[in-house]
Amino acid sequence: HPPPVATDKEEQKRLLENRPDQPQNPKVLRIAIIGAPNAGKSTLSNQLLGRKVFPVSKKVHTTRCKAWGVITHEDTQLIILDTPGLTNPLKAKRHNLDEAMLTDPWDSMKHADLVLVLVDVSDHWTRNSLSKEVLKCLSQFPHIPSVLVLNKVDILKKKFLLLEIVTDLTEGIVNGKKLEVKSALKQDSGSSAKSPLHITQASLPESKVPGSPFGQEKNQTQEGSGLDKSSDVGGAGTGEAQGPNHHGPEVLKDTKGWPHFQDIFMLAALHGEEVDTLKRYLLMQAKPGPWEFHSDVLTNQSPQEICDNIIREKVLEYLPLEVPYGVTQVTEAWEEGECGELLIMQSLLVPRESHKRMLIGRGGKVISRIAREAGQDLMNAFLCDVCLKLKVEVK
């Protein structure tokens, strides 16, 4: 079971400053998760961690800052760098975003050993090409191994579209081998394979991870499984791709995909489907090296930051459009109650009287729902009873 986050700021600080309890042969892997806003990066991070410490909402730019999550499993430590969605200066200005949201994702890449590129396949406007920001990010750091993760596959009714999406996003090349979509696809538009994970390639190295979609044994695959990894690209008959070159902005202009992914995963992060498969794969990618955190650490965020983010998530969820982006949070009280419960009181300051009415809701329904749901999430993060009180004021 993942450890809870300490409720006391000083205790959490001590934990973060503690020397890591190194096992005999420690292994470590730093993972940057990048993608367009709202692709599901924080949801995936929470599922991998096994406890909710990152805010999640359907609104874009819920994640405002760079935060790290820590998974410690036996002798291996995975450090997840949860990053804001890659955006551009124009959109940043529209959503009142600070400078850090433009630089943090790039910053995370500098620390990463592996990058997961998350794509929301339920969004038919964006699913067939990687955003310019993501491509720019990958081309700036071509030496970092990258893995394509297709998220929300449960929402996609026509599973055969996954073949087309994979081909577009990889430019038909994965791990240095060319993908060929077999023409003998017997699926009609209404068919939906139970698990879209069993997409295979023909010439596979034996040592692939069993859970990786391209590591399935041939006899496990479904009929007409779609992708055939036939001809080698780059390596002289070895199946090894030559290292990706640094692509300039001119080259990126006409590019839709990235031909240097080493693997592909398909999952539904919200329901935890196939997240364990990805987690096993990540644990196996870890390299020998000292742990960075004590095994009792789950995140580098302070308890107050987690609290602010989770309350903000609910405010974003239940208020229309731009209103939540103008809310300021002030923590008035943070103390232990008589029965050991955590008492938190927070003021939400809004710029207009109309916003105050919206946030309180008829008969106080909206604000009490926010307090109730945020309180539940905080109990999950801190593993203790939480009594959360919220009040709304015009600033």
Residues 382 and 261 in one domain: no
Query: What would the pLDDT profile of 243-301 be if each residue is shown by its tens digit?
Result: 455 555 555 667 899 999 999 999 999 999 999 999 999 999 999 999 999 999 999 99
Here the CATH number for the domain that contains residue 343 is: 3.30.300.20
Can you tell me the mean pLDDT for 77-95? 62
Residue 126 lies in a domain: yes
Number of domains in the chain: 2
Residues 267 and 350 in one domain: no
pLDDT of residue 147 exceeding 80, the answer is yes
Residue 224 lies in a domain: no
Please state the pTM of the whole predicted model. 0.79
pLDDT of residue 302 exceeding 90, the answer is yes
Residues 161 and 282 in one domain: yes
Residue 205 lies in a domain: no
Residues 85 and 150 in one domain: yes
Range of the domain at 171: 9-181+254-288
Position with higher pLDDT, 88 vs 355: 355
Query: What would the pLDDT profile of 175-226 be if each residue is shown by its tens digit?
Result: 999 886 554 344 444 433 334 343 444 333 333 333 444 433 333 333 333 3
pLDDT of residue 86 exceeding 90, the answer is no
Three-state SS string over the chain comes to CCCCCCCCHHHHHHHHHCCCCCCCCCEEEEEEEEECCCCCHHHHHHHHHCCCCCCCCCCCCCCCCCEEEEEEECCEEEEEEECCCCCCHHHHHHCCCCCHHHHHHHHHHHHCCEEEEEEECCCCCCCCCCCHHHHHHHHHCCCCCEEEEEECCCCCCCCCHHHHHHHHHHCCEECCEEEEECCCCCCCCCCCCCCCCCCCCCCCCCCCCCCCHHHCCHHHCCCCCCEEEEEECCCCCCCCCCCCCCCCHHHHCCCCCCCCEEEEEECEHHHCECHHHHHHHHHHHCEECCCCCCCCCCECCCHHHHHHHHHHHHHHHHCCCCHHHHCEEEEEEEEECCCCCEEEEEEEEECCHHHHHHHHCHHHHHHHHHHHHHHHHHHHHHCCCEEEEEEEEEC
pLDDT of residue 306 exceeding 80, the answer is yes
Residue 207 lies in a domain: no
